Structure 1
């Protein structure tokens, strides 16, 4: 049986998702912030014959994230997704979302696969003498400016609005260094929830690279988040970046696939 969940199901679905808190941080965070009654967010669950959840599907606007611990009714989830107007986007744990590739009517877009890593301990984090600041809403323009200076970053048109909303909801934070009033390096979180946080936006202006600024910021940010009892997680597809993260205590726990 598949049905849409309500607030009455919250403890049950959170228990199901919390067995892999890093993999499910987007679903957990969205449920904690936006709940079950918004126009732009819905979540369905498939139940086994004993009434236990075996799979879920989250819709956040036109983006869908499935999660399951074993076999599930992929076809039914496909029917739910295709009942919404295009374009829609699919992402999730690779071995789960790849089951959707067999359904041609989804017309999945370009496939991007990244490594998914998590960190649970501060034991590999050092200290430094950098002056590191925590960003406020007044720093949003500078955060986006430094991100735009990085060739690999793609900044959405509504990035400022999204970042402001996330900071106001306490689902995102940014730490940075600066020189002469200009932001020189920055590291951010997104999708923060009660048990986990995603690291994003690790960037340093080209003229300030190779000085350890981003690593120093990460040490400070990671320590603060881990001391709050949360698990850190991130995506990476750059082997050099992966080596840096692993020196800081991250371990690969799987792969994440997005279709755009």
Structure 2
């Protein structure tokens, strides 16, 4: 049985999602931030005959994320997604999305490695944190200018407003190193919730690379987030980049895929 979730389902929902808190980071964060009654967000759940929750589907604006631990009513979820006239992106674990292939088509897909850190056993035992600081609102422009200078970030830089909103709402944090008023290295989290945080925006100015700035900043961030009882996760595209994260203790837990509904793209 599939039905819309409401506030009274919250405890069961969080128990279901918490077993894979990294994979469910976006769903958990959106529920904690926006609840079950928002105009731009809806959540559906599926139960089996034993009245056990077996699957969840989240709609956040034009984006949908399904999650299940085993077999579920793929066709039923697909009908909900297709019936939404504004559907743009379907994202989630690769093995879950593949089950929608017979119901939803996409000519534009992207798959990324998904890695998680659950403890700090592989983080450096001692490293210099003296020049690493947590960004405040007045640092947004410097961080944005740093990202603009880095070729790898071309086309994927979030807006100044988005970065400022993240800092103000504490749904993310940025650790940075500055040379005077100029940011030369930074690492951020986004979509932080009570259980986990997503690492994004790891970067260093090309003139300051190979000095360990990003590794130290990332280590400091991971250390602090783990102390709060949260796990960390991140996406990466190529194994060479992934090896850097694995040295600090991130482990691959699957692949995350995004399907774009090109028919609804402007």
TM-score normalised by length of structure 2:
0.92
Q: Tell me which residue corresponds to 2:194.
A: 194
Equivalence for 2:183: 183
Give the Å deviation of 1:30.
Answer: 0.8
Once the two structures are superposed, the pairs formed by residues 166-245 of structure 1 within 5 Å of their partners are 166-245=166-245
Tell me how far apart the structure 2 counterparts of residues 39 and 20 of structure 1 sit (CA, whole Å).
27
CA–CA distance in 2 between the matches of 1:44 and 1:115?
27
Is residue 135 of structure 2 the alignment partner of residue 129 of structure 1? Answer: no
Match of 1:114 in 2: 112
The structure-2 alpha-carbon separation of the partners of 1:228 and 1:158, relative to structure 1 and needing over 3 Å to count, comes to: closer
Q: Quick one: distance in 1 between partners of 2:156 and 2:83?
A: 26
CA shift digits 1:31-68 (9 cap, x unpaired): 11111111111110111112211111001111110000
Q: CA deviation at 1:215?
A: 0.4
Matched, 1:67 2:73: no
The residue aligned with 1:254 is: 254
Give the SS at the match of 1:77: helix
Structure 1 CA distance, aligned partners of 2:154 and 2:2?
Answer: 36
* 1:46-98 C-alpha deviation (Å, 9 max, x unpaired): 11112211111001111110000111111111111112224510110110011
Structure 2: runs of 5 or more not aligned: 261-266
Does residue 79 in structure 1 map to residue 79 in structure 2?
Answer: yes
**RMSD of Structure 2 on Structure 1 (CA):** 1.6
Pairwise CA distance, 1:155: 5.0
Q: Residues 114-150 of structure 1: CA distance to partner in whole angstroms, max 9, x if unpaired? A: 1111111112111322500101122222222222222
CA distance in 2, matches of 1:11, 1:64: 22
Shift of 1:158: 6.6
TM-score when scaled to structure 1? 0.94
Aligned: 1:39 with 2:45: no
Task: Work out whether residues 33 and 169 of structure 1, in 8 Å CA contact, stay in contact via their aligned partners in 2.
Answer: no
In structure 1, stretches of 5+ residues that fail to align are none
Classify the secondary structure of the residue corresponding to 2:114. Answer: strand
The number of equivalent residue pairs is 258
Match of 1:141 in 2: 141
The equivalent of 1:164 in structure 2 is 164
Residue in 2 that maps onto 1:100:
100
Kept in 2, the 8 Å contact 1:171–1:193? The answer is: yes
